[in-house]
Structure formats: structure tokens, C-alpha cells
Amino acid sequence: MTTISRVAAVHDLSCFGRCSLTVILPVLSAMGLQCCPLPTAVLSTHTGGFGPVARTELAGQLAGTLGHWQRLSLQFEGVYTGYLSSPEQAALALRAVEERKAPGGLAVVDPVLGDGGKLYSSVTPELVEAMKELCRAADVITPNLTEAAVLLDRAEDELPRDGEALARLLSGGGRRSVVVTGVSPEPGRIGAAWFDRTDARTGLCAGPRAAGSFPGTGDLFAAVLTGSLLRGESLAEGCARAVEFVYRCAARTLELGSPAREGVVFEPLLGELCP
């Protein structure tokens, strides 16, 4: 009998706009994994350009779901966390990692804290500290440059200019693998630098930079990376696959003329991710 790996995805659900669970569910499913959502909040749209959103926080639902899963003795080959709105939710995400990750499983933490040199408006000092604790329990973390600076208690311009050195610095002495997104090795190219704790190697995957800026690409990247790792691919292979897929989706979006604020058009390309 073929066993389908399960992924518990601790993320928000935006009802319009391609990001978070709207992206993660179909991507992981296309990659042959069972994605089990643990919504942290429901938003009417994502927060990148549609004005004030209607929002419902789900810390109580998150705690209740984890309690039910515990009674069922459910375990997951992957636990993948993203947007968390409070220290309470970060503590629940840590509980998911510690209690629901199967032996030998994978915990991927996308420390959603900010971008473009600024913290998101909902991020408090208490949430930053809780996110750092969650990262310490992760097998892989996927910060962007702004989040890397926050995790290291540095200004962004104080970070190592070498992306591979930065990834190694974030590894906690080699205890976790790291993928730093948004790294630009040269003008016109963008990608990710990585450190792999399994062999202490570092590397950089980069491709052409598509014109424009699109919300949700970090979620798309991390979802493809998570799926690749759970399919047995190396960190280097997963990063290369994710960089290429995000670029192809961005290029397709520009080709179609789809509004940037709705996120990248990934649906027609999902077949490329199938096993």
C-alpha cells in the first residue's frame, strides 16, 4: 500500500488573493501530499492592496483542533507554519511541531514578520520573541532578508552581504537548515541562499527577476520547497525547483496581464509539480 505523507499547515486563509492556504493547499496536493490546514485566521482578502480587511482570529479553533488531533493520536510527516497573529498562536504552532510531528518528520517554519525593511503592523516584540522560539524548534526556516535581520537582532544593512554566509549564521550553529529568500546575487536575478544541516553545505539558487512585485510568492516558494523535501529531494533540489516555479508563475502572470495585487497565476502550472 502506498502511504501519502501528511502535512499540517498552520497558516491564515485569505478568501481572495493568491497567498497563504489558498496557494499552499493546491501546491502540496499537486505534489502528492495530503495537506491538513490549521487556519490561524480568516481574512476577507490578503493585506497587500485591497484596503481594510475583515478578519477573524482563530486561536481558539487552533487549540481545539490540536486537542482533537491529540485524542485521535494523529501524526504528520510535515508541520509547516506561516502567518501567526499573536504569541498565543506561536505557542500553539510550537505545540503542533512538538506533539504532532511524526518521528523523523520535518518542521518548516516561515517566520512571517515583515518585508522590505519593515515589520508588519501586527507584529509586536512579544510575537518576535515567540517566533524566535518557534524557529529554534524547526528543521528548516525560510526567512526573507527583513526577517533574517529580526531573528538576528540586527539592522538589515548589518547583515552579511554573502547570502550563503547569512544562511549559515541563521542555522544556530548548524542545528537547522536555512533558506533565505529574496537574495539577489547580481542585478536582474533573484533567488534564495541555503544552508543544509545534513552536510553543512551552502549554496545559492537564482533565476531571472520578473518585472513587478507580487504578494504571496513567499508562500508559493516555501510550499514548493516543503513539498520537495517531503518527497525526498535535497534542500538544493527543493530550492532550485521553488525558484524556477515562482519565476515561471510570475512570467505567466505578466503574460496574461493579471493584476499584480491578486498574486501570481499558478493554477495552469500546477501540473509541473505533480510526481
Average the pLDDT over 150-169 and give the result.
96
- How many H helices and E strands in the chain? 8, 11
42: pLDDT strictly greater than 80: yes
Among 2-6, 196-200, 229-233, 242-246, which is the least confidently predicted range? 2-6
**Dist. CA 207–CA 223, nearest whole Å:** 18
SS3 content of the chain, % helix, strand, coil (to 5): 40, 25, 35
Average the pLDDT over 22-43 and give the result.
98
**Dist. CA 266–CA 192, nearest whole Å:** 20
- Residues 7 and 28 sit within 8 Å (Cβ to Cβ): yes
**Dist. CA 44–CA 56, nearest whole Å:** 9
Facing residues of 189 across strands? 208
Residue 2's pLDDT is 65
Block residue for cell numbers 517531503: 230
13: pLDDT strictly greater than 80: yes
Domain ranges of the chain: 6-273
Average the pLDDT over 241-267 and give the result.
97
Confidence tier at 122 by pLDDT (50, 70, 90): confident
1: pLDDT strictly greater than 60: no
CATH class given for the domain over 6-273: alpha beta
Nearest Cα residue to 113 out of 150, 139, 158, 157: 150
Cell numbers found for residue 250: 510570475
Residue 48's pLDDT is 83
Residue 97's pLDDT is 98
DSSP 186-211: STTEEEEEEEETTTTEEEEEEEEPPS
Residue 98's pLDDT is 98
- Residues 17 and 261 sit within 8 Å (Cβ to Cβ): yes
Packed helices 59-72 and 87-100: angle between N→C axes, nearest 10 degrees: 10
User: Between β-strands 101-109 and 76-81, what pairing exists: parallel, antiparallel or unpaired?
Assistant: parallel
Residue 135's pLDDT is 98
Segment (H or E) for 35: strand 34-43
Which amino acid would we find at residue 225?
Answer: L
Confidence tier at 152 by pLDDT (50, 70, 90): very high
Residue 3's pLDDT is 84
CA 155 to chain centre: 22
**Dist. CA 70–CA 50, nearest whole Å:** 38
* pLDDT, the chain, mean: 96
User: What phi and psi values does residue 124 have, to the nearest 5 degrees?
Assistant: -105, 165
Segment (H or E) for 243: helix 235-256
Cell numbers found for residue 161: 552581504
267: pLDDT strictly greater than 60: yes
39: pLDDT strictly greater than 80: yes
Average the pLDDT over 102-120 and give the result.
96
121: pLDDT strictly greater than 90: no
